[in-house]
Amino acid sequence: MKERLLALLQERDFVSGGEAARILGVSRTAVWKAVHRLQQDGHAIETAANKGYRLRGYAPFDKQQAASELAARGLHAALHWCESSPSTNSWAMNEAEDGAPAFSWYVADRQSAGRGRLGRAWVSPPGRNLYASCVLRPSLPPARASQLSLAVAVAVHRAVSALGVDARIKWPNDIHVNGRKLAGILCELRADPDRIDALVAGIGINVGMRADEFPPDLATPPTSLQMEGFDPDRTRLFVELAAALEAVVGLLETSGFAALRDEWNRACALHGKQVEVLFGEESRAGTVAGLDEDGYLILEHAGGCERIVAGDVTVKK
Ligand code: BT5
């Protein structure tokens, strides 16, 4: 009943209690209770006098259309979808351990314990955003895993650019629009000493979120495609992302990071900026001079030029 009501709300703008009761063949009280349960699950359902219920900020995701577009584009990608997962990265890693092939995608409508980097949380309410994790099995040594995560950022940049969004990569792999975070990436590695067994690329893109739906305590207010004036269409975004990821991973394997470096540098939000980089217990201030051919951040400071593989960046000016 809860699922059927959700499906109805996803199809329609407003549905009155009476209309929903008639369509679903239940009482109005049963509809009201189901609305309450959906709200408890995190669905933003609003009520308007004389109009009824509406699912707020719903961003469409048509699984069948996505799967058929992947096939039509000749991609290897296979889509696995569920309503709710603790974290699509954990789901994908479990499947990778059980032998899931490269470009298996695990996508959830919501995450109950979405993860950011370094134990941080990723806000993942239902129906609004893309939470997607992809199993990659590149023929690369583990030492080049950080290049892979930079390549994932290039893929996300390509996907949102295909929708017309003017985005920037913030090193190492955040995607920003107008200085606000649109997407984050969490890469997790399973490797033998000499080869990558699987890398799970977890991508969270804010699609239909509105400003007042983000928790107020986030460091800088994030943004979403909808907030930037774009269609909150998760289907198209996902297909563009799957296509871009296969293309960049292929390039990295055949031609090395050098093949992606110019694109990364063009898309980088930090070029020429004065920043402070935190890595482990250390921090360094300097000016960003782009990425070198191995994917290290080049930081210029009084002591000379330094190459940094990963860290957290704060822009000073
Ligand atoms: C990231 O971490 O940016 C990586 C986020 C990866 C999320 C995806 S969703 C699919 C897959 N499954 C998972 O469980 N994770 C991946 P980090 O750089 O640590 O940024 C986390 C910080 O961003 C938080 O501490 C908040 O300040 C902020 N934040 C949390 N949720 C956000 C959201 N939805 N949009 C923008 N910023 C958010």
High-pLDDT (> 70) share of the chain, %: 100
Atom 38 (ligand 1): residue with closest C-alpha?
A: 122
- Residue 125 pLDDT grade (very low, low, confident, very high; cuts 50, 70, 90): very high
State pLDDT tens for residues 32-57.
Answer: 999 999 988 888 898 988 899 998 87
Nearest Cα residue to 242 out of 122, 129, 138, 158: 158
CB-count burial class (<10 Å; 0-12, 13-18, 19+) for 202: buried
Per-residue tokens: 216: 């107020």
- Name which of 12, 37, 62, 46 is nearest 20 in CA terms: 12
What pLDDT does residue 43 have? Answer: 87
pLDDT bracket for residue 13 (50, 70, 90): confident
Among the listed ranges 17-26, 67-76, 245-254, 303-312, which one has the minimum average pLDDT value? 303-312
CA distance 43 to 38: 6
Neighbours of 266 (CB within 10 A): 12
Question: Do 114 and 123 contact (CB within 8 A), yes or no?
Answer: yes
Predicted local distance difference test score (pLDDT) of residue 298: 92
The alpha carbon of 204 is separated from its chain's Cα centroid by a whole number of angstroms, namely 2
Nearest CA owner, ligand 1 atom 30: 122
Cβ < 6 A, ligand 1 pocket = 87-89, 111, 114-118, 120, 122-123, 131-133, 174, 181, 184-186, 202-204, 206, 218-219, 222
Of the candidates 183, 169, 177, 165, which has an alpha carbon nearest to the alpha carbon of residue 231? 165
Give the gyration radius of the chain's Cα atoms.
Answer: 21
Entry pTM: 0.89
Residue 103 pairs in a beta bridge with none
Nearest residue to 153 (alpha-carbon basis) of 125, 128, 181: 181
Give the CB-side neighbour count of residue 112, counting CA atoms within 13 A: 8
CA distance 277 to 72: 43
Percent of the chain exceeding pLDDT 90 equals 70
Please check the confidence at residue 143 and state whether its pLDDT lies above 70.
yes
Say how far apart CA 150 and CA 173 lie, in whole Å: 6
Sorting pLDDT into bands at 50, 70 and 90, what band is 290? confident
Q: How far is the CA of 205 from the centre of ligand 1 (A)?
A: 9
- Tell me how far apart the alpha carbons of residues 11 and 30 are, in angstroms, rounded to a whole number: 20
Rounded CA-CA distance 8/6 in Å is 5
Predicted local distance difference test score (pLDDT) of residue 44: 85
For ligand 1, the distance from its centroid to the CA atom of residue 169, given in whole angstroms, is: 15
Tell which wins on pLDDT, 59 or 15: 15
C-alpha of residue 6 to centroid of ligand 1, in Å: 26
Residue with the larger pLDDT of the pair 294 and 84? 84
| Cα–Cα dist 78/116, whole Å | 24
Minimum-distance ligand 1 atom for the alpha carbon of 118: 19
> What is the predicted pLDDT for the residue at 93?
98
214-260 residue pLDDT tens: 888 887 899 999 999 998 899 999 999 999 999 999 999 999 999 99
The pLDDT, as a whole number, for residue 317 is 65
E strand or H helix at 291 = strand 282-291
CA 125 to chain centre: 13
> Mean pLDDT, to the nearest integer, of 283-287?
93
- Other C-beta atoms closer than 10 Å to the C-beta of 305 total 11
φ, ψ (nearest 5 deg) of residue 88: -65, -25
Q: What is the DSSP letter of 101?
A: P
Dihedral (CA of 28, 29, 30, 31) sign: positive
Tell me which of 84, 111, 112, 122 to substitute to probe ligand 1's pocket, judged by most ligand atoms within 8 Å of the beta carbon. 122
pLDDT digits (tens, 9 = 90+) for 151-205: 999 999 999 999 999 999 998 889 999 999 999 999 999 998 899 999 999 999 9
Average pLDDT, the chain: 93
CA angle, corner 315, sides to 309 and 316, nearest 5? 125
